[in-house]
Structures are given as C-alpha cells and as structure tokens.
Amino acid sequence: MLKGLAGLAVLLPFGIKSCDGPPADVALGQLMRERVLLTATANELITDLPIAEGSAVKAGDVLVHLDDSLQQAQVAVAQAQLAEAEADLERMRTGARPEEFAIAEARVEGARAVYQEAQASYERNARLVETGTVTAARLDEVVAQRNSALAELTSAEQSLQELRIGARAEDIRIAEAHVTAAEAQVTAERTRLDNLTIRASRDGLLDSLPWNRGERVPLGSPVAVLLTGDRPYARIYVPEAARARLAIGDAVSISLDGDSAVYQGTLRWISNEPAFTPYYALNQEQRSRLVYPAEVALPQAAAELPAGLPVSAHLP
C-alpha cells in the first residue's frame, strides 16, 4: 500500500555511514506485513472498543462501535415512510370501503336535493318576472344559485363514479414506485446503521486503535489498523549499482540480526523510481547513493517473525 513513498526518510533507519553508498550485493530493509486501515463511516463518538490492541482477530469480528442513536432514528423514519407507501398502495388495490361508498352516495343525494330546490326556485321566479312581481336582477341571482347547485351535484356524482371504478393503472404504478423507493431508503439507512459497527475485513492482528472510547472521530479517519497475511515480507532498498541486474522472481536471501537462520525469498516487486530525491542532474558519485524500494516474499518458515525487524538482503 505504501509502495509510492520515497525520500530521504527511507534511508535514515538503515544508517548510511559514508558517501560511498551501500555494497552492491546487499540491500537493507525491514520486515513488514500488509496493513489494512478501517476508517470511520460517520462523524460520531466511539462508544465501545471490544477487542484490545495486539489481539488476533477473524474477519467479521467487531473492533469499534460508533454511536448509532441518530441513525436508529433515521431508520425509524424510513420504516414509517415505507409503511405509509404500502398502505397507500393497498388502498388503491383494494378500492374504497363500503363506508366510503355510503358517504359518497349521501353527498350525491344531498347535492341533488339542493339542486332540485334551486331549480324549483328558478321556475317560480321566472313566472313572477313575466307578471312583474320580481325583478330581472332577482331572477339572475336565482339562476346563479341553480347553476352552483348543479355544479355541486355533478362533482358529487363524479366522485362516486371514481370510487366505483377504482384507481387507474397509472396511479397504482406510481404507488408501487413509491413503495420501491421507500424500501430502498430503508435498506440504505439500515446499511448506514450497520456501518457504524466497524468489523475486521480480514483475518489478522489488531495492530492499533488510534482513538479512545468517548472521542469523536471525523468521517474517514482510521479507527483500527490490521496487520494481515499469513507471513511477513521484506521491504528492502536496492542499491543503484544492483538495480539493472535484478528481475522479478529472482531468489534473495534474507538474514536478521540475532537469528542464524537464512530465509530464501523471492523478489516480487521492485520500483522503477529511486528513493533518493532529487533524482535528476546527479553525477556518478551521487548516483551510487540511489536506492530502489523492493519487496521480497518470504517462505512459510518466516510466518512467526514480527514486523518491524531490520533485515539484510543478499542479492544475486
């Protein structure tokens, strides 16, 4: 993951003692393991750290709990919206209840009675206008009342007819789409809730818990660091003089201080960029101090070696 890092800091741990550069057949480095950074999925407080640093963990083990009270509320809101959408869809599919039909029919009868009265009033006043008993203005008022009553009756009849026919196919599809959207929202909110529980993504060793219980972590900040893989690998720095003769797959012997064993590894990666900057406009003496980051895969016999130990790599 850190292959791209380069610079003078890389060289300091290995104690370059002179300007002549390291021997061309030896590369210095250290044992490393793959690091997995697990980051905070929300800007929340840490409520629990159930596993101690240095413990072996399995994929799926809970490492960090973030406060989920706000997200629990978001899930509840999404579930309520889903229930509302489902109820609306069910109402459209099943149609109106008998009580709703009764109410609509009663509204039609009431509107019809009002209209009939308005029509009778119009007929009486029309005859009176002919005899001069009422004015034309009064007749105009009666006509307006009759027309309004007719409109109310028509509206009530149309509402009753709509109940009898039921919901249109387009309305049902819209309601189904609302249910689908609400279901997706519930799934999304539950996923956000689950993500507030940080779990190990791989088997490994819990190397670090950078935050303490009760601290608020920013979104995206590392909250747990895992060391993974069944064995370490050697991160070495190849002298410039040896770079041209090395290729992926070459055998490399790895030795450690205080350990008489020699581990036969395989070169699995070597950088094309030197780790000494600036790399341009260097004379021959300066070029001899260039090093190239590389990685050596180690055999199963090295599985128990801890990360961080300095190593010497004997190059072919």
Question: Per DSSP, what are the bridge partners of residue 292?
Answer: 238
Residues 239, 268: contact at Cβ < 8 Å? no
pLDDT reported for residue 58: 96
pLDDT reported for residue 99: 81
pLDDT reported for residue 286: 54
Range of lowest pLDDT (94-98, 211-215, 218-222): 94-98
Average pLDDT, the chain: 86
CATH number of 8-67+202-314: 2.40.30.170
Q: Is the pLDDT of residue 174 over 90?
A: yes
Range of lowest pLDDT (92-96, 176-180, 238-242): 92-96
Q: Is the pLDDT of residue 170 over 90?
A: no
The mean per-residue pLDDT over the stretch 168-197 comes to: 94
Q: What is the pLDDT of residues 37-66, one digit of tens each?
A: 999 999 999 999 999 999 999 999 999 999
The mean per-residue pLDDT over the stretch 164-179 comes to: 85
Distance between CA atoms of residues 72 and 70, nearest Å: 5
pLDDT reported for residue 288: 61
pLDDT reported for residue 162: 75
The model's pTM: 0.65
Q: Is the pLDDT of residue 14 over 90?
A: no
Q: What is the pLDDT of residues 132-146, one digit of tens each?
A: 888 888 888 989 999
pLDDT reported for residue 135: 85
Residue type, 304: E
So where are the chain's domains? 8-67+202-314, 72-188
Question: Looking at per-residue confidence, does 10 or 145 come out higher?
Answer: 145
Q: What percent of the chain has pLDDT over 90?
A: 62
Q: What is the pLDDT of residues 105-130, one digit of tens each?
A: 899 899 999 999 999 998 888 888 88
Residue 220 vs residues 42, 153, 216, 255, 304: alpha-carbon distances, Å: 7, 64, 12, 38, 32
Residue 164 vs residues 41, 160, 170, 189: alpha-carbon distances, Å: 52, 6, 17, 39
Q: What percent of the chain has pLDDT over 70?
A: 87
Q: Is the pLDDT of residue 17 over 80?
A: no
State which H helix or E strand residue 180 sits in: helix 169-195
Tell me whether strands 204-208 and 251-256 are parallel, antiparallel or unpaired: unpaired
**Lookup result for tokens 């992926």:** 248
Q: Is the pLDDT of residue 156 over 60?
A: yes
Distance between CA atoms of residues 126 and 124, nearest Å: 5
pLDDT reported for residue 183: 97
Counting beta carbons within 10 angstroms of the beta carbon of residue 175, is it exposed (0 to 12), middle (13 to 18) or buried (19 or more)? buried
CB-based burial, 3-39: b 16+ in 10 Å, e otherwise: eeebeeebbeebeeeeeebbeeeebbbbbbbebbebe
Nearest one of 208, 209, 225 to 38, comparing CA atoms: 225
Residue 25 vs residues 37, 233, 240, 249: alpha-carbon distances, Å: 35, 19, 10, 17
pLDDT reported for residue 11: 41
Q: Is the pLDDT of residue 272 over 80?
A: yes
